Structure 1
Amino acid sequence: MTHHFTRRALLTSALSSVATVAFAEAPLTSLRPTARPDLDPKTSPLAQVTTAEIIADADLNGVVGFMLADAKTGQLLEATDADIGLPPASVTKAMTALFAIKTLGPDYSFRTRLLATGPVVDGVLQGDLILAGGGNPNFVTDELSALVKQFVDLGITKITGAFQVWGDALPYREEIDPPQLDHLGYNPSVGGLNLNFNRVHFEWRRANGRYTIAMDARSETQRPLVYTSRMRIVDRAVPIYTYARAGKIDEWTVARGALGDSGSRWLPVRNPALYAGDVFQTMARALGVPLPNPEKIAELPEADEIAAHESEDLTKMMRSMLRFSTNLTAEGAGLTATKTIVGKPFELPESAACMTRWAEQRSNVRANFADHSGLSDVSRVSAQDMVAILRDPDAIGTLRPILKDIPMTDEDRDVIVDFPARVVAKTGTLNFVSTLAGYVRTEAGGDLVFTIFAADLEARARGKAAGDEQPAGSIGWNRRAKRLQQRLLQRWSLVFQSEA
C-alpha cells in the first residue's frame, strides 16, 4: 500500500490516529447534504422552543453555561449559567491565537538554523555542526529534508567535530499535560526543536504469524526510520502500551493481542531535539554525508549560520491550528509570545499565567489558563468572560477571518443546505467536556458573539481515575453536547436577525 502524506495529512492524522475524544474531536457534520428545513422564525419549531427546553432535551449531567451577545454593542441576548468557570478545552486555542498574533505580529515566522563552529575547507567542515531550533512547532520531515539538502549543496562531505542539536529556544516539557496516558500522540513533549508535532509513526503488519514493525518520521515524500524510539511486542492483555526512557531512547512496548493484522498510530516523542537530529543524520547519510550521532547541548557556542528554514507566517499557522486543533502548535506559539513579552523563556505553567494576565488586562475578565492548548482540564473560564474576550474589536478583526466554518446540521447530523447564517468558531473536546465559541453572521447581516460550555467534571474525574482512554458514556455525552450546540446556534440564527 502506498501512503501519501501532505502537511494537511500530517495534521489530520493527529485526529484520525487516536480513538479518543480527548483531542480527536468527533466530526460536527457528515458529508451528506440535506434539504433546507422550515427556517422562517415565525413558523419554525426550533425558533419557538426555549433554551431551557433545549438544555433539558440534551440530557447532559454536569453544567451547561452559555452566553449570546450582540458583537457590536455588547447587548446580552441570552445566557444560562454564564458566570460559572468551566474547562474551555480547545477553545483555549482561540485565546492563544489572539495572544500570539497580537504579541508577535501576523507575519512572524520561526527560524530553524544550521550552524557551523569552523570553516569549510575542501568539503570538510572543520568543527561542529549544530541543528538549532527556533521554536517552530509545525516543522515536519519534508522541511527538515530541505534543510539537509541545503547543507549537502554546500559541498560538505564530512565534519571533523560533533553533530549537536539545540532545543532550548523554548523550555523543555516532557508532556503538555502529565496526567494524560503516556501513549497519546496529541500529548507530546514541548521544546525549541520540534519535528512532526513531536510524534513518531508506529506501523505493524502480520504475515505468516509474525509481525514486522517500523518506527519512522514520515511526511509527504520521506519515510526515514527512527532510532531514538523503539518498540517491542509483548504477550499481555493490558496495558496496551507502556513507556520508559532509556537514556536517549524512548522505549515502548505494545500488547500483542491489541494489534490485529495490521495498523498504525502516532506515538509521542519525549526526546524531541534528539529525534530531529536522528532524522537529520539519517537523511544526510542517505545523501552521502555521514554524521556522528546527535548530542544535545544546552548553550549555543559562537558559530556561523550556513543554512536555515523559515516557517510560514504566524497567521497561516494559527489558521491551521484553529482548523486542526494541533496542541503543539498552540504551546509553541504561546510560549514564544510569552518569551517576547518577558524577554526570556518561561516554563509552560508560567507562560499560561502570562497569557491569563494579558487577557484579564485587555478584556477585564477573570480566567485561569493552565496551558495554551486547552489539553488540561484545570483551566477555567466562564462563558461570559470568553464572550468578553471575543467581543473585543481586535479579537473580531484577528480571529474571525481565521476561525473555521461550522456548518449547521439536522438531527441526523447531515449538513443543512443554504442555512441562512454563517457560523465561524473554535471547537473544544475532552471526555465529558464540549465547548464552542465564536461568531454568527445572521441572514440580515447582524453579528453575534457566543460561547457554549458544557462539562460533567465528576464523570471526567471518574474516567481519569480508572485510566480509561475513552470512558464509558463519554461518546454519547459528547455527541449530545454537540447536538445541543447545533440547536442553540440554529435557534439564535432564527430569533436574533437584527441588521448590523
Structure 2
Amino acid sequence: MKFKHISDKSHSWLRAAGLVAGLLGPAGWAVAAPALPGVPGLSARDLSVWIAPVEGGAPWLSHRADVAVNPASTMKLVTSFAALDLLGPDYRWRTRWLSPAAIRDGHLTGDLYWQGSGDPAFDRDALADMARTIRARGIGQIDGRLLLDGQVFRTLGSSSELDPDEGRSYQVGPDALLTQFKTVELTLLATPSGWAVRPAPALPGLQIDNRLQRDDSGRECPSAARLVSQTVRGQEVSLSGSLPESCDGSHLYVPVFDHARFQSEAFAAAWQAAGGQGQPAAASGRTPAGARELARHDSPPLSQVLTDLNRYSNNVMARQVFLTLGAANPQSGDTARDAASAVRASLARHGIDTQGFAFENGAGLSRHERVTAAGLGEMLRAAQATPFWAEFASLLPRPGGEGTLKRRLPALAEQARFKTGTLNDVRALAGYLDAGGRRWAVVLIANRAGISNAQLDQLLEGLYPQLEAAGHDATGLQ
C-alpha cells in the first residue's frame, strides 16, 4: 500500500480494511499494548497523540487526546476539510474589472472598479492578462480612478499577538483583492562589479537600496535568503550581505507596502506593460449596480489551491480560504466569526466533536487556535468517507516531495502523507501512515518550547514498527 496509488477508482486498502473491521475493538489487539517510544528530550506530558485505523474502531493509541492544544499549521487541514465540504473541489474565485463609464476614442471616461472575491492565488500573471484584455477592448487611457472593491470580506480576523508583517512573507495578512501575496520577487543577478537586483512586479514606487557584495570564494550557494539581510522601511527595501557567484539567479520574496498601495502599483506596472497610458489614482469603492464587466480572471480550482496551500504551508492562502467560508455563509456580518461558525458546522455535520476547538484565522498562525488530537484524528478518519476524499488525501505533502516534508522522514517516503505544524512552542504532524497492511490516521502534537522537528520525526519512526505489528495482527497478514 503506497500513497502514490491514490485515485478515485483505486483504493484496494479500503476494500481490504472493510473485510476486517469486525476484528477491531479495545480487546481486538492481540499484540503488546502500544507504548510511546522514548525520545531524548521529549516528555509524554508535552504530547497529545491519537492513532486509529481509518476505517473505524477504537483508537490504537490515545494519549492526552482530549486536551485542547495549539495545532500550529495542522489547523490548515481543518480549514481545507471544511472548504472541500462547503465549497466543493471545483470552486473558483473570480476577480472582475468593471465600469459604468463609456469608452470613447480609446478613453475609459470614468472609474474602473476592481472587484475582488478573496482569490488566494491571484498573481502578477493574472493581473497582466486582465490588463491586456481591457487594452484589447480599445482602452488606452483611464480618465477616472481605480476603485478597489473588497466588500466581500467585512472583517479580516487576526493572528493574535504574533509579530506583525515586518518584511516576513509568512506574516502577510489577508485581503479581498490579495495580489501576488503582497510580495515582490527580487531576482539576484551577478555582475562583474557585484550584484544587480530585478524586481517583479516592477512597482513604480519601490526603491531598492542594494548593498550586496560579491564573495569570490567559489563556494556553493546554500540559499540566498540565508546570506542576505533585508530590511523594509516604507517604500525602500535594503539588501546587504556577501554572496558567491553560484547564487546567480536566486530569488528573494519580500512583502512591501500595504495591500491597497501594492494593488495600485501592481496595476500601474501591468497597465504600463500592456501599453496603457497614465496611472489612475486609487481609492476604495463599492461597484455600482449595472457596471459593465471589462475583464475577469477565474482562479485555479479549490483542490489545486489547497494542494499548494498545504504543501508549502502558506498562511495567507489559508486565511483567504477561511474568510471565503465566512463570506459564503454570512450570519453575523463578521466574516472571521462567520468562518469559524461555518468550519465548526462542517465538522459537526460529519460527526466530529469540536469541544476544545478554537478558531482565529484558520491558518494555525495563532496563539489562540486550539484542537484536540482526537477531534483532528476523527476528522482525518471522516475524510475517507466523503466524496472529496481523493482531493483531501492528495493535498497532504509526502516525505521527499516538494514542500515542508522535503527533507523529513525519508524512511517513510512511501508510507506517509502528513501536514506539518511549527511555531516556537509547537511541533505537530497530522495525516496518514500505511503500516501492517492498513492505513492509520495519526496525530502527534507537542506543545512546549525547544522541541524539534527531528524529535517528532523520531517519535513517528519509533511508532511505525508497533503499527506494523498491530496491522498484521488485526488483518491476519504475515
TM-score, normalised via structure 1 length: 0.72
Q: 1:493 to 1:273 in 2, by over 3 A?
A: farther
Q: Which amino acid aligns with 1:364?
A: D
1:363 aligns with 2:352: yes
Say whether residues 1:492 and 2:467 are aligned partners: yes
Q: What displacement does 1:190 show?
A: 0.9
Kindly provide the CA deviation profile for residues 259-306 of structure 1, in whole angstroms up to 9, marking residues without a partner as x: 657765212245224323322221221232113244121322342111
Residue 486 (structure 1) shift:
3.0
Q: Which amino acid aligns with 2:448?
A: D
The verdict on how the C-alpha distance between 1:404 and 1:58 changes in structure 2, with shifts beyond 3 A counting, is: farther
Say yes or no: does 1:226 pair with 2:209: no
1:228-377 equivalences under 5 Å are 228-232=205-209, 243=232, 245=234, 250-253=235-238, 256=240, 258=241, 260=243, 264-302=251-289, 303-342=291-330, 346-348=334-336, 351-352=339-340, 354-356=342-344, 358-360=346-348, 362-366=351-355, 367-377=357-367
Cα distance change of structure 1 residues 208 and 415 upon mapping to structure 2, 3 Å threshold: closer
2:143 pairs with one of 154, 160, 168? 160
RMSD, aligned CA: 3.5
Tell me the residue number matched to 1:454.
446
Most deviating of 353-362 and 204-213: 204-213
- Taking the aligned partners of 1:81 and 1:414, their CA distance within structure 2 comes to 24
1:358-387 per-residue CA deviation (whole Å, 9 max, x = no partner) reads 535641221112221111132111211211
CA deviation string 1:322-378 (max 9, x = no partner): 222221221111111111112576354663465345535641221112221111132
Aligned to 1:28: none
Matches within 5 A, 1:156-235: 156-171=139-154, 173=156, 176=159, 179-180=162-163, 182-202=166-186, 212-217=196-201, 225-232=202-209
The total of aligned residue pairs comes to 415
From 33, 51, 57, the counterpart of 2:39: 57
Q: Is 1:370–1:378's contact at 8 Å kept on the other side of the alignment?
A: yes
Q: Measured at CA, do residues 359 and 291 of structure 1 come closer, stay the same or move farther in structure 2, by a change above 3 Å?
A: farther
CA shift for structure 1 position 253 = 4.7
Tell me how far apart the structure 2 counterparts of residues 70 and 346 of structure 1 sit (CA, whole Å): 38
Question: Measured at CA, do residues 414 and 175 of structure 1 come closer, stay the same or move farther in structure 2, by a change above 3 Å?
Answer: closer
Given that 1:58 and 1:481 are in contact with CA atoms closer than 8 Å, whether structure 2 keeps it comes out as no
Q: Which residue is equivalent to 1:221?
A: none
Amino acid in structure 1 at the alignment position of 2:203: V
Gaps of 5+ in 2: 1-30, 213-227, 402-406
Do the aligned partners of 1:189 and 1:271 also contact (CA within 8 Å) in 2? no
User: Which deviates more, 197-206 or 477-486?
Assistant: 197-206
User: Partners of 1:191 and 1:493 in 2: how far apart?
Assistant: 46
CA contact (8 A) 1:89 1:435 kept: yes
Report SS of the residue matched to 1:265: strand
Contact kept in structure 1, 2:330 and 2:338, CA below 8 Å: no
Encode CA deviations 1:223-243: one digit per residue, 9 max, x unaligned.
Answer: xx12354444699xxx96555
2:379 alignment counterpart: 389
Q: In structure 1, the residue corresponding to 2:144 is in which secondary structure?
A: coil
What are structure 1's unaligned runs of at least 5 residues? 1-47, 218-224, 460-473
Percent identical residues? 22
